[in-house]
Structure 1
């Protein structure tokens, strides 16, 4: 990785600190108009600065699992990725602070992931706060994974799970559950792990996040989990003494407050005996991989993800061949 971010990335972070950070401080997520406007702003940023949708195909999914659970989401296939029943796939859990985004806002990113990896990407459209509170989003994420394995018959060892921001928390929670079959690998982009934002506040003492303050972010997350004690094991994730996670790649931006979460999670995965590659990209903002028109570093970061996914799936194929 470079010693510092590109001039364009550093300029973007500065401009964001003067604009987006100030806007997020005055929009009240507890009020319907504030939440609506926040959703509009995020969606427009991701559309304006995300990768191209050229060649991306989208197939909506609205179905029921054999046990009656409803699942909503979409298949996203980049250029050259075949249609039809997949024998391997990438399962993507989008971020949002549990309240803002959707598969649609992340479609440019998932389309790019699909084209880069050659895999079809399924994104679950989990229900959002404040209308739906904990553990609704986690239940929907679980339903998506169960559907891929049990209903479609895709072997878990031939899949990779990826998630960003709050989607990282939902993904780690899923994989810590004893009944969850593990994928070949896990990819996390700027994961939110500490829902008390204690680590984020510590990181803010070193450098302020150009997009949002921790005190504003926690107001958003509380729309989902405020009714539950933060010590609940599904919220305060015990990675060190829990199940060992699959091989993991974590990428975070050096300019964001959640870099502290990424570093701590990598340490915890290794302490539990797992394998984790951590990349903190200098001067990059939160989930910069979704903004290649703003952050040139998104392109080499995607190459790192692509290589990691390919290696993980190849290793799994080799292990199955030996056994």
Structure 2
């Protein structure tokens, strides 16, 4: 891995600092129009710099588990991936600060993972704050996992879990639950660990995040957590004292404040007895993997994620030329 990011990715970070960071500072997250506009801006960025791959097939899901819980999401099949009878799959949990995004905004990541691994991806469409507060998103993620592994007959050990940003927090919360049978592996992109953003603030003093201030990110996440003690065990995840997580790969950008969360999470996973590979990609922004038109490092990073997940399932057939 290079000691510095590419010139294109460093330029993108500088532009982001002059635009997106300033916009996020002035949009009022406590106003419905501010949340709506933030969602539109993020969706436009994702569509422009990370459009889905050609040949992607999407199958919408809106169903219920046998005990009546509702599951909403979508199956994403990359080009050439079989659409019937999978015996392995990826469970994808998108990020959003619990507020902003959806499977639609993250379809590039899902379709890319599918294409690179040859596996279908189920992307859960969990309900968002501020309309739906804690623990709604976490409950929806649990319901999606139960539906995938119980109703669809997929053995947990033949699945892998991937998530980015707040989706990383939701993924870890899911796998810390004592009654959850673990998947073969876990891949996290710029995961949030500390919802108080104390770790992020420490990192921010050394280098400011080009996309958002820690104070603005905290206000966004508070829309999900408001009224709940920050020490609640489903919010302040005690990974180090919890059950060992499955083999984990964590990637973060060196330019983002959440690199501190990634580093801490990797340490906590190892303390608990799990194995974790940590990659901090120099000069990269938050979830840079979703923006291949913005940063060339997205492609090698995603090939690395796909290889890690496929190897965990015992399948090393990766299309290295994809994307």
Fold-level match, TM-score > 0.5?
yes
In 1: Cα distance, 2:186 partner to 2:133 partner: 25
Say if 2:266 and 2:277, in contact at 8 Å, map to a contact too.
yes
In structure 1, what is the Cα distance between the partners aligned to 2:182 and 2:189?
19
SS in 1 for 2:313: helix
TM-score by length of 2: 0.97
Q: Tell me the equivalent position of 2:81.
A: 81
Contact 1:188–1:250, Cα closer than 8 Å, also in 2: yes
Q: d(CA) in 2 for partners of 1:156 and 1:80?
A: 24
Structure 1 residue 51: deviation in Å? 4.3
Question: 2:6 — aligned with what?
Answer: 6
Q: In the alignment, is the contact (CA less than 8 A) between 1:51 and 1:112 conserved in 2? A: no
Q: Secondary structure at the match of 1:80?
A: coil
User: What is the RMSD of the two structures over their aligned residues, measured on CA atoms?
Assistant: 1.0
Q: Which runs of 5+ in 1 are unaligned?
A: 316-323
Partner of 2:170 in structure 1?
170
2:261 aligns with 261
The aligned residue for residue 320 of structure 1 is none
Q: Work out whether 1:283 is the aligned partner of 2:283.
A: yes
Structure 2 residue aligned with 1:59: 59
For residues 153-211 of structure 1, give each alpha carbon's deviation from its aligned partner in whole angstroms, at most 9, with x where no partner exists: 10000110000000000000000000111000000000001000000000001100000
1:205 partner SS: helix
Is the counterpart of residue 141 in structure 1 residue 168 in structure 2?
no
Aligned length: 316
TM-score, normalised relative to structure 1: 0.97
| TM-superposed deviation, 1:103 | 0.4
Paired residues for 1:244-255 under 5 Å = 244-255=244-255
Once residues 73 and 121 of structure 1 are traced to their aligned partners in structure 2, the CA distance between those partners, rounded to angstroms, is: 10
> Is contact 2:52–2:107 with CA below 8 Å preserved after alignment?
no
Report the Cα offset of residue 52 of structure 1: 4.0
Mapped partners of 2:149, 2:52: distance in 1: 30
**Structure 1 CA distance for aligned equivalents of residues 5 and 299 of structure 2:** 13
The alignment status of 1:305 with 2:312, answered yes or no, reads: no
Q: Which residue of 1 aligns with 2:47?
A: 47
- Give the 3-state SS of the residue equivalent to 1:212 in structure 2: coil
3-state SS of 2:314 partner: helix
Query: Would you say the 8 A contact 1:51–1:109 is kept in 2?
Result: no
Q: Please say if 1:107 is aligned against 2:107.
A: yes
Find the aligned partners of 2:281 and 2:53 in 1 and give their Cα distance.
25
Q: Secondary structure at the match of 1:103?
A: coil
Question: How far, CA to CA, are the matches of 1:36 and 1:117 in structure 2?
Answer: 34
Q: CA deviation at 1:226?
A: 1.2
CA distance in 2, matches of 1:306, 1:109: 11
What's the CA shift string for 1:196-245, capped at 9, x where partnerless? 00000000011000000000000000000112100000000000110100
Q: Is the 8 A contact 2:199 2:261 kept in 1?
A: yes
Distance 2:212 2:101 in 1: 16
Cα deviation, 1:90-131, whole Å, max 9, x if unaligned, reads 000000000000001111111111101111000000000000
Q: CA deviation at 1:132?
A: 0.3
Q: List gaps (5 residues or longer) in structure 2.
A: 316-323
| Moved beyond 3 Å, runs of 4+ | none
> Does the 8 Å CA contact 1:77/1:121 hold for their aligned counterparts?
yes
